[in-house]
Amino acid sequence: MSDKIVKSKFFFEEDFIETIGEVSSKEYKSLPPNKKLKYVGKPLNRKDAPVKASGKAKFTFDIELPHMVYARTLRSPHPNAIIKDIDTLHARQVPGVFAILHTFNMSAFNGGKIEWYGNSFLFDPHVRYVGDEIACVAAKDEETAERALKLIDVKYEILDYEIDAKKSMNSKLKIHPDGNVRRGKPFEYERGSVKDGFDEADEIIEDEFSTQVAVHNPTEPHCSVADWNKDKLTIYDSTQAVFRVRNMIADALDTPKDSVRIIKEYMGGGFGGKLEAGKYSVMAALLAKKLKRPVKILNDRREQNIALGNRPDSVQKLKIGVKTDGTITALNHYAYAAIGAYPSGGGCSWPLRTLYKCDNVRTEEYSVYTNAGRARAFRAPGNVQGTFGLESLLDEAAEKIGMDPLEFRVKNFVDFDQVGGKPYTSKMLIEAYKIGAKKIGWENRNKIPGGGKGYVKRGVGMASQIWWGGGGPPAHVRLELDSNGKIVAFAGSQDLGTGTYTFVAQVIGEILEIAPDNIDVVLGDTDRVPYGPSSGGSTTAPSISPAARDAAERMKEKLISNAAALWNVESENVGFENGTVFMKNDKSKKLSAKDIVAQLDDKKISALGSREANPDGYSVQTFGAQFAEVEVDTLTGNVRVLKVVAVHDVGRILNGKTLENQFHGGIIMGIGFALTEEQIRDEYTGKILNDNFHDYKVPTIKETPEIEVFILGEGDMKANNMGVKGIGEPAMIPTPAAIANAVYNAIGKRIKSLPITPDKIITALYDEA
């Protein structure tokens, strides 16, 4: 094999920041409240609803190209092993098999190794978990490829393995040469003196909380179609990050970025798991180049569960010091998480460091390698786990000093970022508490946890939320207006099913006073749209909507200046109203956009809008509180969520209907994390035991409670020119914690590990040991 090594950059590398494009320096006056606007904030139907409802929308899964070849992946059956030999003779003899790619023939496809994750390679001969890639077969159809996979004979040197994070931290077995803790040390943070803080406390509460491994399981599994045209590679990919995937694949293949095109028109969910290029995409590209035919590679539901990401587990040892008046004097957070076999992150202390006023804080967190599938970003990485632990501990502390849990949180409210030392652009958490408490009936909750008659107990709990969600540059939107009066918006983003097509049209329509139905929106194509950020971390709307406004404002300026030139007057003598320009001293003299473009030599007007910089001297965060009412059957241990009230400070609403969709989806996902979802791994084999929808229990409509959503304020105008913040993560973050606190209020026993399954309820109630 060649010694050539191609190095790639990956999104988890914290120092890798995109800086493509300009930042808008224009300042615009704040838009009026939504009730005074025509399109923004209104619950308009999705622009893509008709094609999706009719089945005409093409997802990556649906892409079919002429002469296409289908690829499938052979994955390791062992959690830790060295590949000694691969015999593909019988597999190659299967009729319809065109090529087989593996570690011992990479030089024939790429001229050498392709580095992956910074400490491994594509088709690394050292496989480190059940599901690691060994080979890829390209054949005339999937069935033939599957048949060939079974005929590949692999010889292994089987090694010992470790799947438990605690054991792995202290194990002599090294999953990587530099040890089993990522970067060889914990992430640590400290302010003040926790020793002094605990000395000042009247009460000290210590407890341990744990959360499970959960899997993204989007409707559309990860998939790609790779097609070469001479030296140009086009990949149709189910991704949340068209530009990031383009850059990663170009790096992996050692080719210029402009020679790679990524297309993603529609996708069936991502939840953070599709924020990076997959090995499967590069495998498809290598096979397609070799065969000179397009290659489609689909990962099935099992592969989705074992090899394509998860939310890492957590063990959190927490300690809080409080005074009898409710003042928090100290917080200490020690945690570790199993991030799988390759680099990722397992930290979960951000809520504890930021959400409540405390001068003395210390955190120590370990991201630990194990022989398991690698963790990936998953809807509010770390914050869901950390919020469960923190909010449970706060309820314990409030009970210890005899204070109402809600009053305790109000007592420790803080209006500035304690980590960054900056004030927040907005923090309406007190208002959220008041509204949520009233809507859930907080005053009627059990004053004594576990009180109430009968074997079916009801309880009410709540939890708070903090998340960034501020977005930022670079993000761009280009508008094109033709002589037919048609406006097309090319936005540097992608729609995950969350409504990006729709809100882009609403923002542009608002500024240009044109119905959104008359604006076409193009997303998810690196050759057609200007640069934009990945869609993760609740950043899409607060990044793209200000750029869309900037583009529309610039288009309006161009229409005015072009009309002024046609009338031979100064621009200040020309006005704009209802999508037309007019002479201010003679409103009967007017021109439509179509009329203006028709008189121009180019027959087209273009305008590029950019996102402005985030505000200096401020911290942009989202906040919220959720209240849950549950019912617990103390005979069966079954928990049923009856109602969730969500009250959030997330800036201006762009579309009322898609906002409700996002919050309902996030809350339902939070219910799954709280009660049913958990990846189960057999400690004796390292294999996943529930790698399908039958055994991995996601919530259904049957488990969906009554949900009420309230959004505070009319927009955070310090954040950006639209006053918008993200909602994807905030919708889920506090749900599991609120449910856990409600369960405690119902039965008087605290369940300290998620998910809260019937066996844990029964054990807590009846096992005196």
480-528 pLDDT, tens per residue?
999 889 999 999 999 999 999 999 999 999 999 999 999 999 999 999 9
Confidence band, pLDDT 50/70/90 cuts, at residue 602: confident
Cα separation, 494 vs 240, in Å, equals: 7
Query: pLDDT, tens digit, for every residue of 9-44?
Result: 444 433 333 444 578 888 999 999 999 999 999 999
Confidence band, pLDDT 50/70/90 cuts, at residue 425: very high
Residue with tokens 């009730």: 35
Query: pLDDT, tens digit, for every residue of 268-279?
Result: 999 999 999 999
Query: pLDDT, tens digit, for every residue of 135-186?
Result: 999 999 999 999 999 999 999 999 999 999 999 999 999 999 999 999 999 9
Q: What is the dihedral of CA 546, 547, 552, 555, to 10 degrees?
A: 150
pLDDT at 8 over 70: no
Residue 572's Cβ-count burial label (10 Å; 0-12, 13-18, 19+) is exposed
Cα separation, 721 vs 475, in Å, equals: 13
The terminus-to-terminus CA distance of the chain in angstroms comes to: 60
Residue with tokens 């960054």: 420
Residue with tokens 């599938």: 373
Do the domains 63-159+225-307 and 162-216+309-414 sit in the same CATH topology, yes or no?
A: no
- pLDDT above 70 covers a percentage of the chain that reads 97
Query: pLDDT, tens digit, for every residue of 318-362?
Result: 999 999 999 999 999 999 999 999 999 999 999 999 999 999 999
Q: Which CATH number, 3.50.30.30, 3.90.1170.50, 3.30.342.10, 2.160.10.10, labels domain 63-159+225-307?
A: 3.90.1170.50
Average pLDDT along the chain: 95
Q: Which amino acid is it at 282?
A: V
The continuous run of DSSP H or E covering 760 comes out as helix 758-766
Q: What is the mean pLDDT of residues 381-405?
A: 98
Confidence band, pLDDT 50/70/90 cuts, at residue 91: very high
Domain range 162-216+309-414, CATH architecture? 2-Layer Sandwich (3.30)
Choose between 411 and 24: higher pLDDT. 411
Query: pLDDT, tens digit, for every residue of 233-245?
Result: 999 999 999 999 9
5 forms bridges with which residues in the sheet? 113
Q: Quick one: pLDDT at residue 768?
A: 61
pTM, 2 dp: 0.96
Q: What is the dihedral of CA 159, 160, 165, 167, to 10 degrees?
A: -150
Q: Quick one: pLDDT at residue 356?
A: 98
Residue ranges covered by each domain of the chain: 4-58+471-610, 63-159+225-307, 162-216+309-414, 415-469+618-769
Which of 278, 291, 273 is CA-nearest to residue 8?
A: 278
Residue 99 to residues 123, 226, 289, 293, 338: CA-CA distances in angstroms?
A: 15, 15, 11, 12, 36
Q: Quick one: pLDDT at residue 195?
A: 98
Confidence band, pLDDT 50/70/90 cuts, at residue 123: very high
Could you tell me if residue 166 is left (phi over 0), alpha (psi between -120 and 50 degrees) or otherwise beta?
Answer: alpha
pLDDT at 749 over 90: yes
Residue 589 to residues 131, 512, 513: CA-CA distances in angstroms?
A: 70, 19, 18
Sequential DSSP letters for 284-349: HHHHHHHHTS-EEEE--HHHHHHHS--B--EEEEEEEEE-TTS-EEEEEEEEEEEEESS-------
Q: What is the mean pLDDT of residues 84-88?
A: 98
Cα separation, 419 vs 279, in Å, equals: 37
Q: What is the mean pLDDT of residues 546-552?
A: 98
Which of 490, 496, 519, 494 is CA-nearest to residue 506?
A: 519
Q: Which CATH number, 3.30.360.10, 3.30.365.10, 1.20.1560.10, 3.30.70.940, labels domain 415-469+618-769?
A: 3.30.365.10
Q: Quick one: pLDDT at residue 18?
A: 45
Q: Within 10 A of 61 (CB to CB), how many other CB atoms are there? A: 18
Domain range 4-58+471-610, CATH architecture? 2-Layer Sandwich (3.30)
Confidence band, pLDDT 50/70/90 cuts, at residue 5: low
Q: Quick one: pLDDT at residue 2?
A: 40
pLDDT at 545 over 60: yes
The residues, any chain, with a CB within 8 Å of residue 436's CB and separated by 6 or more, are 442, 462, 625, 626, 627, 645, 646, 647, 710
- pLDDT above 90 covers a percentage of the chain that reads 94
Query: pLDDT, tens digit, for every residue of 452-475?
Result: 889 999 999 999 999 999 999 999
Cβ–Cβ under 8 Å, residues 721 and 546: yes
pLDDT at 229 over 70: yes
Counts for the chain of helices (H) and strands (E), in that order:
19, 31
